[in-house]
Structures are given as structure tokens and as C-alpha cells.
Amino acid sequence: MRDSADVGEGIGGAPRGGGTVPIRAVVFDLDGTLADTLPAIGRLLSKVVAEQGRRVTPRQAAAAVGKPAPAAFGQLLGRPETDEAVLTAMGRYRELFAHEVLREGPRLLFPGVSAGLSALRAHGIELAVATSKVARSAEALLDVMGIRDLVGPVICHDMVRRGKPHPEMALRAVSQLGVSPRESAYVGDTVGDMRMAVTAHMAPIAVTYGVGRFGELAAVAGTRMCSSFRDVVAAVAASRPRPVEMAAGYHRMR
């Protein structure tokens, strides 16, 4: 796995007075960024699609993870998103989600997430989530992982008119936090996440342990590449007036 690296302008957006704009808020993707749900969701997608008489490979299932349910099942079943088979699959997926995915609880957290979110909050960084999940699933997942109280607004696909990579979701999150987009970062694991961040004029931070490949993520101008959640915290800390103190605080909380 590649180490974290800067690509393009670097974190914090355009330079201001010889430096970068300090980050005051961070908005996170959920699956593949905070939650290691990709294996469980991939298996569930394959199971539900098999019930509809179609077989998919693990790679095909993984490619659908993180997309809104209609798009994911439309892609896997090879049918329009409004097709009856797609709607049936969506209902079945939601029926099984708690048993197949949520039962994993805190084990779904990527290493360092809980401590990292706590460290960011302790240093005055506002936090939110913007995800392609529907609100019911997103809230339930955050609850069972034990981090719901560490993030503020949770903006979901069923709460906006246009999903990723359109910036509506991210902009709504920072608006509710009361922070300007240029003083904010979006952290995600897909090219769509990074494109949304750039279009919203937020600093794009990509994690390389999720779905997206290093090369395609790095190709989005200005993206900061992070190979761990600790790298994410360090990237945000680097934009702050006293980054060393934040990094030390995170180290103590691990």
C-alpha cells in the first residue's frame, strides 16, 4: 500500500498569505472510509442478487458498494433502476441489512477511527457525514459502531435531490455546521467522493484502504492521499495553527 502523499495543490485549498486555508470542518463518507463494511455488504449484495437468479463475482459486487441502492442493483441485475426485480432486491437488502451487516457492531470500524474523530473534536474541528446510504441505514450503522455522538449532521442520499458526485450533499453538511466550504475537507474512498469535494470547493482527502484505487484517486487534482485514518488526522492537523499539539493528542488517545 502506498504511503500518504500530496497530489496537486495540497490540503486546505488555494494558498492564502503563503500558506493554506486552515480546515475548520471535516465531512466524511461512511462505507469504506469510517466503516469497514465492504466485505459484509459485498456478500449481502451477492446473496440478494442470487435470489433474483443472477450470479455476480466478488469484484462485481465490490464495484457496486457505496452506490445508492437503485444504481447498485440496477448495475448488478442489468436492469433499469425502476424495474420490479431491482425494487424487490432493494427491499430484500434492507430486510437483511441488520442481520448481515449491523450485527458486526464496533468491529466494523476501521483502525483509529474512534480515537481520531475524538481528537479532531477535541481540537475544535466540526464533523459531519455525507453518504450515499439512506438515512435509516446510515444512522443505524453509526449507532452500532458507537460513533454517532462524535459526528454532527448526517446527510444521506434520500435527503438531497442530487447524489454524489454532485456537491449538494457536501454543501448541505458544511452549511449545517456553519463553516464555509473552503475551510472544510471531504474524506472519502472513491473518485466520486473526490470530484464532489473539488466541485464543492472543499479540500479532497482520499483514503486508499477503501474501494478506490490509488491511481484513479490521485488523478483528481489537489487530492491528499492517506493510507490510514491516522494519516487523515495528520492531514487535517497540518492545516491548523498548532498541528503538532493535535498530532500529539491523537497519539495519546490511540
Which residues are catalytic, by number?
29, 31
At 161, list the grid cell: 435531490
| Cβ–Cβ under 8 Å, residues 96 and 210 | no
- Report the chain's C-alpha Rg in angstroms: 18
Query: CB of 7 within 8 A of CB of 222?
Result: yes
Q: What is the DSSP string of 39-108?
A: HHHHHHHHHHHHHTT----HHHHHHHTTS-HHHHHHHHHTS-TTSHHHHHHHHHHHHHHHHHTGGGGGGG
Measured distance CA(73)–CA(84) in Å, rounded: 11
For residue 249, the surrounding DSSP H or E stretch is helix 243-253
Strand partners, 28: 129, 187
CA 34 to CA 149: how far, in whole Å? 14
Q: Give 6's Cβ-side CA count (13 Å radius).
A: 11
Q: Are 151 and 127 in contact (CB under 8 A)?
A: yes
Which strands make up the sheet holding 184-188, listed edge to edge? 5-6, 224-226, 203-207, 184-188, 25-28, 126-131, 154-156
